[in-house]
Amino acid sequence: MLKRNWMAAAAALLVFSAPLAAQDEPPPEGWRGTGELGYVRTTGNTETSSLNMALEFIYEKEKWRHTLGGSALRSKKSGTLDAERWTVRGQSDYKFSEKSYLFASFRHDSDTFAGYDPVTSISAGYGRTLVDNGRHYLLGEIGAGYRRQEIANTGETENGAIARGRLDYRWTITETTEFGNLFLIEAGSDNTFMQNDTSLSVAINKAFAVKLAYQVRYNTDPPLGSDDTDTQFTTNLVYNF
């Protein structure tokens, strides 16, 4: 099964590499980042409150790029906690050509109401900018690693090798509007995890933007009693620094 997942991930990257790439300005060196915050509260017949936030820091210097990010979600309904999730992730890239790089990454997920809690994975592999023409941008990664996940209701752990793939697509619709889609897959013999984040951002000015986002998280083999799919829709204020 792992071999088939490897082949599928590789084929996907080859398909997406077909468009011709054009030259664009390289990103500035040094630190940059984004912060997101969203809050919703309803009262009356139903009382709910939801808070979500995200942070990402990027540091670039010559051939190196380091990324550290995290996100959190907390939701209550009628005073009872019904969602609590946080994620921490990091990655280091070594650029050995203008478009290609080697990467090492990690991801840690904690979701109180998920079938697997927590989940930790590390991986390494090859990445390449497939398209970059000023309006469309597509980056692909493929690699291998190791994952440890705990079954929440039994405390049992599943450990094993994984194949990892990632596609990051961005479309600059206008000077102030951008569409994005980020897809991640971690395929293992016990379970294959997939996450897709679709977003639409509209800039208010150079520093602030409004972002609508829809996230789908899917496990092919969730523990007994757990759903295989989780979805999340957010409206956030974004600060670029």
Whether 196 is in a domain gets the answer yes
Q: Which domain holds residue 231?
A: 2-29+39-48+95-100+108-240
The per-residue pLDDT of the chain, averaged, comes to 89
Q: What is the pTM of this model?
A: 0.86
What is the percent of the chain with per-residue pLDDT over 70, rounded to a whole number?
88
Whether 84 is in a domain gets the answer no
Pair 137, 128: CB distance under 8 Å: no
Beta bridge partners of 142: 126, 165
pLDDT 10s digits, 117-146: 999 999 999 999 999 999 999 999 999 999
Whether 205 is in a domain gets the answer yes
pLDDT 10s digits, 67-101: 999 999 999 988 888 889 999 999 999 999 999 99
Query: CB count, 10 Å around CB of 211?
Result: 20
Asked whether the predicted pLDDT for residue 15 surpasses 70, the reply is no
Whether 73 is in a domain gets the answer no
Whether 81 is in a domain gets the answer no
Distances in Å between the Cα of 15 and the Cα atoms of 97, 138, 234 are 21, 12, 31
Q: How many domains does the chain have?
A: 1
In single-letter form, the type of residue at position 32 comes to R
Query: CB count, 10 Å around CB of 2?
Result: 15
**Which residues lie closer than 8 Å to 30 by C-beta, 6 or more apart?**
59, 60, 61
Whether 70 is in a domain gets the answer no
Whether 61 is in a domain gets the answer no
Asked whether the predicted pLDDT for residue 158 surpasses 70, the reply is yes
pLDDT at 26: 64
Q: How confident is the model at residue 45 (pLDDT cuts 50, 70, 90)?
A: low
pLDDT at 25: 59
Asked whether the predicted pLDDT for residue 23 surpasses 70, the reply is no
For tokens 């990690």, the residue is 106
Whether 82 is in a domain gets the answer no
pLDDT at 22: 42
Q: How confident is the model at residue 42 (pLDDT cuts 50, 70, 90)?
A: confident
Asked whether the predicted pLDDT for residue 59 surpasses 50, the reply is yes
Query: CB count, 10 Å around CB of 33?
Result: 15
